[in-house]
Every structure is written in structure tokens, then in C-alpha cells.
Amino acid sequence: MDAGSGRRLSFTQNRRGRERGSMKITGAVLEEIGRPRPFTESRPISICELDLAAPGPTEILVRLEAAGICHSDLSVVDGNRVRPVPMLLGHEAAGRIVEVGSGVGDLQPGQRVVMSFLPRCESCANCAEDGRLPCTAGSKSNNDGTLLHGSRHLSRGGEPVHHHLGVSGFATYAVVDRASAVPVDDDIPADIAAVLGCAVLTGGGAVLNAARPRPEDSIMIVGLGGVGMAALITAVSQGISRIIAVDTLEQKLDHARRLGAHETYTPQQVLDGGVKARFVIECAGNPRAFETAFAATSPGGTTVTAGLPSPDARAQLPPLTITAEARTIVGSYLGSAVPSRDIPKYAQLWRDGKLPVEELISDRIALADINRAMDQLADGHAIRQIIMFDAGGPA
């Protein structure tokens, strides 16, 4: 039985119980990379029925409840991140466990879990770096479109469909490796839990793990999408004395002021006015934003880059400034996070009323609205659109 809905699953099993079959799911599959905008017309993503194979020994089956739409999804759709297709998208998600593999002893059906898009093998040299470096095996499996240990559970018409970042959360069900799931208590709503797994983990971690400001420091956030807004509310939760928010869109600056930013500027205002901060976090994934962030960093300060630009993007920086002003540039992938350690920390901050994650959610949509949601994200109008899997909407 499905622990979340009470519905009997369609996994099949032979008489000896050694072979497991598959179940039918509905998911959002990217058919082709680089189709032109608007996506509502070119429709690079199709909603279709797929086969999902049963979990292996180190894996779990999850009924998805909520999934966030992130620039990392858009970057695959528009070609900034080349991934194998067809691919079932979605990497920021939360749901209920339905079944656990024979080797998973610390989780059980019915628990709510947050997905993490970078699983950790806990045995490579990178995993020993306390979150600073991405797991070698996890990075390889993400590039290959498989789960952590190389398995692939998705197919359509007998042909394989690739996993997205070990999650493939834009679907009714998912099989993920145990290392890709972090349990949270039931008092954390599904939509809040989903956002913890990427936007908050990345933006919050850029503040707490990479920058590490003290309350008396100044901090600037450049780029106010989901990750940037998450960095902002995390800085507010830590009582940082001067918090500056930067974006090209006035409505996002207005929202940043409501969330606790002390000062707000456009990038041009920052450059023209010589606005500086001790820590500057770039969250836009754009080389011009990175240049702005570097220019706005005080002597002796730290520029943290958390955005993911195109691999061939280039920025121009004055090397002399790095030397003469004793500057530091820090890369922060997934917030330099250890998800099993950090997600519970953010959940507690939300529980304590210090981290208003709900303010990052700009819309709740149905799975069928995915192409329109990608247009909204590309236009810069959305912070976090959340797919709710009990939501209605057009077929």
C-alpha cells in the first residue's frame, strides 16, 4: 500500500520474490535542450506516463508532495547546463516514503523527506572536506543521469529516461538513493520542506558556511531569486547589522525590504555610488553580477559566488585588487553544505519563527503548468514556484 495515499502500488513480484517490476507514474520530461522561448509554445517539457522501477537495496521510493522550480532546472532546459535527454526534471522536492530498500535501516515508510540534489558517498576525499567540495561519485552520477550508485529506474516505452541530479522530483513518485534524502518532522509542511533542499541550503549555506559573517559585519546579496532571497532571510536570522540587497527588478527590491534588508539598490546604483560590504554573495549565476559583487566587496573582504553561470561564461576582474586589497573569493556549491547536518538546522530556524521560508514561495502550481513556469522564471518574475502534487489544473 502507498503510505501516503493508501493506494495499492503496481510493483509486481515473481513467485520467488527475487525480481521486482515497475509502477506507472506521471512526470515532466525534458525532450530536447535549447528549444526557443516562449516555452509555452515550443513545449520542451512534456507531461507523460513513465515506468518507475522498484528501489534497490540502498534506495527508497517516495510519493512526491511538493517540488520547487529552480534556475538549475531552467539551465538544463535552455542549454546552459547540458544534460542527457530525455530527462525527468526536478531536484528540489519533498515527499513521503512509501518503501525502503533492504539496506536502508534508518528510514521507514510514512516519513517525510527532503531531497538533496548532491548525494554524498561519505568515502571519497571530497566528502571529507565538510561540505566545501562536492562528492566525486555524486557529481559523476549527476552528470551521467543516474542515481548515486549508477542505477537508473526510469523508462518510457521501453527506452531509458535519465534522472535529474539524483532526484527527478517533477513527478508523482521518485526512487532516490538514501544519500539523497534527509528526514524532517511532520510539522514542516511539504512546500517549506522542498525549498529547504535547494534554495535555502544553497543561499543559507553561502551565508553560514562560506561567508560566516559576525553580527557586526555588513553583507550584500546580489541577485534576488530563490537562492538570493534565502541568503537574505538567513542573514536576517543571524542579526547581521547591515544587510544590502541588489537586483535589477524593483518588485524584488521591495520584497527584500519587507524581509528585512536595510538597504536596496540596483547593480548600477551600487557601482555608481561605490556601495561596499565586508561580505558580498553573488546569487545570480551571471558574470556581470559576479563583477558587480567583486566591485562591491570592501578591502579585506570576501566575495562568495553561489550562482551557476554557463560553463563558457567569463568575467573580468582586476588581479591587482585581489592582491593589494587582500581580497578573498570563495566558491560555494550547494551552500558548502552537508545536507544531513544543515537541513535540520534550517528547519529549526523556520520552526522558531526566524526563517520565513514561506516568503520565498511566489506561486503554487500544477505539474501541467511547467512550461509556463519556466517562462516565468526566465523572465525573472518568480522567486520560487512550487508544484503541489494535489493541485488541480489543465491536463
Is the confidence at residue 19, as pLDDT, over 70?
A: no
84: left (phi over 0), alpha (psi -120 to 50) or beta: beta
Crossing angle (nearest 10°) for helices 250-259 and 226-237: 20
* pLDDT tens per residue, range 102-137: 999 999 999 999 999 999 999 999 999 999 999 999
Is the confidence at residue 246, as pLDDT, over 50?
A: yes
Work out whether strand 154-156 and strand 112-115 pair parallel, antiparallel, or are unpaired. unpaired
126 with 135: CB under 8 angstroms? yes
Is the confidence at residue 245, as pLDDT, over 50?
A: yes
Is the confidence at residue 15, as pLDDT, over 90?
A: no
% of the chain at pLDDT higher than 90: 91
Mean pLDDT (whole number) for 226-252: 98
199 with 230: CB under 8 angstroms? yes
**Domain span holding position 248:** 202-333
Q: Is 320 within the bounds of a domain? A: yes
Same domain, residue pair 27 and 151? yes
Same domain, residue pair 233 and 314? yes
Is the confidence at residue 64, as pLDDT, over 50?
A: yes
Mean pLDDT (whole number) for 374-383: 94
Same domain, residue pair 163 and 69? yes
Same domain, residue pair 126 and 206? no
Q: Is 158 within the bounds of a domain? A: yes
Which of the pair, 5 or 129, is modelled with greater confidence? 129
Is the confidence at residue 230, as pLDDT, over 60?
A: yes
Q: Is 277 within the bounds of a domain? A: yes
Contacts of 245 (CB under 8 A, 6+ apart): 220, 221, 224, 228, 232, 252, 253, 256, 257, 261, 263, 264, 265
Same domain, residue pair 167 and 216? no
Mean pLDDT rounded to a whole number for the chain: 93
Q: How high is the pLDDT of residue 8?
A: 40
AA letter at 395: A
Same domain, residue pair 46 and 173? yes
Q: How high is the pLDDT of residue 391?
A: 42
Handedness of CA 233, 303, 383, 343 (dihedral sign): negative
Is the confidence at residue 4, as pLDDT, over 70?
A: no
Torsion of CA 254, 256, 262, 263, to 10 degrees: -60
Per-residue burial over 281-298, b = 16 or more CB atoms within 10 Å of its CB, e = otherwise: bbbbbbbebbbbbbbbbb
The H or E element containing residue 362 is strand 361-365
- Please provide residue 245's backbone torsions phi and psi, each rounded to the nearest 5 degrees: -115, 140
Same domain, residue pair 112 and 160? yes
Q: Is 7 within the bounds of a domain? A: no
Q: Is 103 within the bounds of a domain? A: yes
Residues in the chain: 395
40 with 16: CB under 8 angstroms? no
Same domain, residue pair 151 and 259? no
Same domain, residue pair 206 and 118? no
Q: Is 172 within the bounds of a domain? A: yes
Work out whether strand 297-305 and strand 181-184 pair parallel, antiparallel, or are unpaired. unpaired
Q: How high is the pLDDT of residue 295?
A: 98
Paired residues of 161 in beta bridges: 154
Q: Could you give the C-alpha distances from 214 to 228, 278, 330, in angstroms and in order?
A: 19, 10, 17
Task: For residue 154, give the nearest of 68, 59, 76, 75 by alpha carbon.
Answer: 59
236: left (phi over 0), alpha (psi -120 to 50) or beta: alpha
Task: Tally the domains of the chain.
Answer: 2
Mean pLDDT (whole number) for 27-56: 97
CA distance 318 to 200: 31
| 3-state per-residue secondary structure call for 123-165 | CCCHHHHCCCCCCHHHHHHHHHCCCCCCCCCEEECCEEEEECC
Is the confidence at residue 10, as pLDDT, over 60?
A: no
Task: For residue 168, give the nearest of 272, 247, 258, 52 by alpha carbon.
Answer: 52
Is the confidence at residue 277, as pLDDT, over 70?
A: yes
Same domain, residue pair 244 and 286? yes
Q: Is 196 within the bounds of a domain? A: no
Question: Residue 249 has which C-alpha cell?
Answer: 527588478
* pLDDT tens per residue, range 322-353: 999 999 999 999 999 999 999 999 999 999 99
Give the CATH number of the domain where residue 162 resides: 3.90.180.10
Same domain, residue pair 237 and 376? no
Which of the pair, 15 or 9, is modelled with greater confidence? 9
Give the CATH number of the domain where residue 244 resides: 3.40.50.720
Same domain, residue pair 279 and 158? no
Q: Is 177 within the bounds of a domain? A: yes
CA distance 284 to 71: 9
